[in-house]
Structure 1
């Protein structure tokens, strides 16, 4: 099960190319995973396509328990995974977090300053320029007659 969790986020057990880690896990799997585990099934079929080249893949085989998330041994013993591990990393912050009163007050002050600066500026008067460029058809056109 933990392999399925890893394969949902990454294409391979370790790194960005097939390696001996994939071979070790592939050999430990008894057969193809069920179709509802689509990420694991895709990985299985992909590694199976390297049947003749398995020995030439980079990396070093390790014990099966050394692959996957750092807490694989804990999850296999307890039989459950912590959802807290998935939620620990919040790279971009959350919109749901409440702002402190100081931050709200500071934001309101800055908005008020911006509005007052905006109100003080005079309105721009827009002007349009229309330029008519008159060109003769050829060098025999009488330009004096064209001006009339």
Structure 2
């Protein structure tokens, strides 16, 4: 049964989480898992020292994300208003692929050796290519990536920075939860999750060719990979 938390941005929500972690090192199980990443990402800011157990757990997960990452599946966690990190988030094929697969079934009744018009041949080739592409996507592995996106200075509009980052859309990329993390001297960085299809998206290419070039680099100074985990 999945563990549920509510209002993690409020004092009451943090108090309940603190009580929950009193006798636990992790959200579920005996090792860090995706459940910990989900709750970690759902916290709008690092917890204060008032919440001793939450602070201990938060700092431990921060260290793991910086050093080795987190790969265990976990038992499932629900955070109000926040979607857990799951493979299903990118597992559903686009509607176009479903139609292509249905079209392939219709081709079973076609006499491939009979006379076909040029238009019919072209349509059949397009359907076959779409089905092949769909099958390749289903075979592809997926990864969960946590990015640190740093602004130029404390005057950078962080809302526009986040909008600029999420404006980057491509096949095989799904943006997830995000939060602002204080760095110092009034500067905050954006920490954001994304799920990628490995064969379709290269994180290095995404950073070099999209996240640190115009027009996004008006707000973004640099991007770093904090954690990279296979799903």
TM-score range, shorter chain: 0.3 to 0.5
With CA pairs under 8 Å and 6+ residues apart, which has the higher RCO, 1 or 2?
Answer: 2
Structure having the higher Rg:
1
More strand by share: 2
TM-score normalized with structure 1 length: 0.38
More helix by share: 1
